[in-house]
Amino acid sequence: MAVTIHQLRQWKQQGRPISMLTTWDYAFATILDQAGIDVLLVGDSLAMVTLGYTTTLSLTLDEMLYHAQAVQRGVKQALVVCDLPFMSYQESPQQALRSAGKLLQSAGVAAVKLEGGYPDMAATVRYLVDRGIPVMGHVGLTPQSVHQHGGYRRQGTTEVDADRILQEAMALEQAGAFAVVLEHIPAVLAADITQTLTIPTIGIGAGLDCDGQVLVTADILGLSDWQPPFAKPYTNLRQSITAAVHQFCTDVQNRNVPK
């Protein structure tokens, strides 16, 4: 049985943690899906980890659609959520609906994620949900606002900021979001938000008390050049791939490849 958004809420009630990883193409989608991940996020971090852009701001809706289509073709079980890229939803709820509709209709993903809280974003979430589009929220460090944040720094470290993030998460729930990502905020704030909301929280650099955890797949596999402090590498594929490629080059030089 494929994972549904309703199951995520049940899992929160049952205290069953939710696993989520990012993915960007068919090959990785099949591997992660068959390995039993609950939610696959076609995250806009693909802009940096697979397309070489310096921030997520450069990614276009058409590029995202291309990757989402490839991911969806590889998935049988996981719930697939796709990020709305920068400037594909900020203009108006109507623009957000057109962009989200394209991702659901042409890629077949189950839901979209967008960054930011209230009041504007909550109104946009309500607009999408009322028209049948499931939305995951994202508060705390929101990479599409990197220039406003002044870098990829931890958010919610002052009382005022922490309260703002809590209010944003509550506004997203009120607007009908089915889950919310909490990125790079103090663990105590994430725990508070998790207790306050009835929808699941999915943390990244937000402590252990969230209802689920998400990481960027390139980070856990050791594929990235750089990793954020909260990303635990589970293996070093960069090293393994380099060793395999060196061996192949040596074998070619020695005329030692299979005939």
Interface with ligand KIV by CB under 6 A: which residues? 22, 41, 43-45, 83, 181, 183, 204, 214, 216
Shortest distance (Å) from residue 215 CB to ligand KIV: 8
Interatomic CA distance for residues 234 and 251, integer angstroms: 29
Shortest distance (Å) from residue 202 CB to ligand KIV: 7
Shortest distance (Å) from residue 223 CB to ligand KIV: 13
CB 45, CB 76: distance < 8 Å: no
CB 175, CB 126: distance < 8 Å: yes
Question: Which is catalytic among the residues 115, 168, 173, 183?
Answer: 183
Cα–Cα separations (whole angstroms), residue 95 to 69, 88, 168: 21, 7, 21
Of 43 and 74, nearer to ligand KIV (C-beta) is 43
Torsion of CA 91, 79, 45, 213, to 10 degrees: 110
Residue type, 254: N
Let me know if 63 is a catalytic residue. Answer: no
Shortest distance (Å) from residue 60 CB to ligand KIV: 15
Of 209 and 251, nearer to ligand KIV (C-beta) is 209
Dump the DSSP string for 23-83. --SHHHHHHHHHTT-SEEEE-TTHHHHTT--SSGGG--HHHHHHHHHHHHHT-SSSEEEEE
φ, ψ for residue 240, nearest 5 deg: -60, -40
Q: What is the 3-state secondary structure (H, E, C) of 194-232?
A: HHHCCCCEEEECCCCCCCEEEECHHHHCCCCCCCCCCCC
Shortest distance (Å) from residue 144 CB to ligand KIV: 9
Of 208 and 252, nearer to ligand KIV (C-beta) is 208
Interatomic CA distance for residues 248 and 222, integer angstroms: 21
Residue number closest to ligand KIV, CB atom: 43
Residue matched to tokens 């990481």? 215
Of 197 and 216, nearer to ligand KIV (C-beta) is 216
Of 159 and 225, nearer to ligand KIV (C-beta) is 225
Residue matched to tokens 């900021």? 161
Catalytic residues: 183
